[in-house]
Structure 1
């Protein structure tokens, strides 16, 4: 049999080995195309294995050549011995491993290999997922991308939001370039995913805490500035109307639809809350904001651990926040 050889890639461009289950080959090909448009060569089997060559050797050689392993994770790949072998080879070669979830399922068969890696959620936004993959492969943005500018304070009117910390996230966008975010339409909450009357209507007050800046590594003075902006809320009280308290929907996250973001996979039932919030950033065609919400609630309290990802044309910042909310009084309020 002829010696195995992978299809050639441009040595001047970074490259990514796309590990996937055969059932997800369409998404793997889509990702390869999107990466190519951003200056990264993707490689996947069997498309990029020359005719007549040995699969195993071609895969082994390409993993050694690649800068990163991008795992398209799903229930099928979680149980695949081929995917497992590719991750083992990647770790042995000290490659960057980027697990990309195609569906919201926990890792079981691959839990040992994936427990220490930050997930990228394809289902929470294709464009944002690709941007994060590119940022991780091509290198971190310079700290200067997040330095304060003359436009640190936006002239847009204040957005009164609830416990997701959107005001803080918007201020981070301003720190990155004086940008503000705007509407992208509102998604309906699927019936049956949200309990009836889960919380009390009325006035709620909250506290937001910066837990950790995950990306990039910023100088201490910039970290402090982001932390101060995220945690400072001059008006911590918000009104939850009787209608929203009876059947929470997007207005719980975006009172009066002022910010008009999209929400996906929203669940609020059995004392637990989860979901994803996505927004565009006005004035920046590449700008995007995502907040992943996981938490618990009672009738008079809510507590959340959030992951906020802000992508602008100047770079990306990603951080964790912890939110606590308590009911003060009600039910009447002017929402």
Structure 2
């Protein structure tokens, strides 16, 4: 009986939280993606300089996240990053951190990299991710390039109707 009484306050506290780990708040979300690293080992200076111009350029989008999408949480948001024939493998989340590996078949997926490591953090109102991978292409000096992209998504309020 004493054990039951001792666990009741803990259950009440957990129930009051109202959200499972990784759930997001529905509403308007603004996402910004930027290239944070693009290195081409062995590239001539003019090619390396051109690659540097890509750094810091960002692309911003806004979208209304429904209650169902918010409940699906960070795993669903991570899956939405997939382009082409890609899958998220080894996805782990808990306690505000997440990680996984995006593996893409064929060309064009994974932003040009067949495999990208993803790490990130999350709260119910903000998600940050960093994805890094190596591009192998005979057209590149040395045949490869290393890239890293960052994504920040934040809830900005209620959905705009």
TM-score normalized by the length of structure 1: 0.33
Match of 1:329 among 146, 157, 160: 157
The 1:207/1:288 distance shift into structure 2, 3 A limit, reads closer
The 1:196/1:229 distance shift into structure 2, 3 A limit, reads same
Tell me the SS of whatever aligns to 1:236. Answer: strand
**Structure 2 CA distance for aligned equivalents of residues 313 and 319 of structure 1:** 16
Aligned-residue CA RMSD (Å): 3.4
TM-score normalized by the length of structure 2: 0.61
> How far apart are residue 298 of structure 1 and its match?
1.1
> How far apart are residue 328 of structure 1 and its match?
1.5
Contact 1:208 / 1:231 at 8 angstroms: preserved in 2? no
Report the equivalent of 2:146: 318
Larger Rg: 1
Report the equivalent of 2:51: 226
Report the equivalent of 1:269: 94
What per-residue deviation string (whole Å, max 9, x for no partner) do you get for residues 34-67 of structure 1? Answer: xxxxxxxxxxxxxxxxxxxxxxxxxxxxxxxxxx
> How far apart are residue 271 of structure 1 and its match?
0.4
**Structure 1 CA distance for aligned equivalents of residues 135 and 81 of structure 2:** 23
Residue-pair matches, total: 136
Which runs of 5 or more residues in structure 2 are unaligned? 1-19
**Structure 2 CA distance for aligned equivalents of residues 253 and 247 of structure 1:** 11
**Structure 1 CA distance for aligned equivalents of residues 85 and 25 of structure 2:** 24
Match of 1:246 among 47, 71, 80: 71
Report the equivalent of 2:117: 292
**Structure 2 CA distance for aligned equivalents of residues 230 and 253 of structure 1:** 22
Tell me the SS of whatever aligns to 1:225. Answer: helix
The 1:226/1:203 distance shift into structure 2, 3 A limit, reads farther
> How far apart are residue 290 of structure 1 and its match?
1.9
**Structure 2 CA distance for aligned equivalents of residues 322 and 204 of structure 1:** 16
Report the equivalent of 2:10: none
Tell me the SS of whatever aligns to 2:73. Answer: coil
Tell me the SS of whatever aligns to 2:116. Answer: strand
The 1:307/1:258 distance shift into structure 2, 3 A limit, reads closer
Choose between structure 1 and 2 for higher RCO, CA contacts under 8 A separated by at least 6 residues: 2
Q: In the alignment, does 2:105 pair up with 1:306? A: no
> How far apart are residue 234 of structure 1 and its match?
4.7
Contact 2:35 / 2:57 at 8 angstroms: preserved in 1? no
What per-residue deviation string (whole Å, max 9, x for no partner) do you get for residues 236-259 of structure 1? Answer: 324444323212376423549763
Q: In the alignment, does 2:25 pair up with 1:200? A: yes
Q: 1:67-78 to 2 correspondence within 5 Å?
A: none
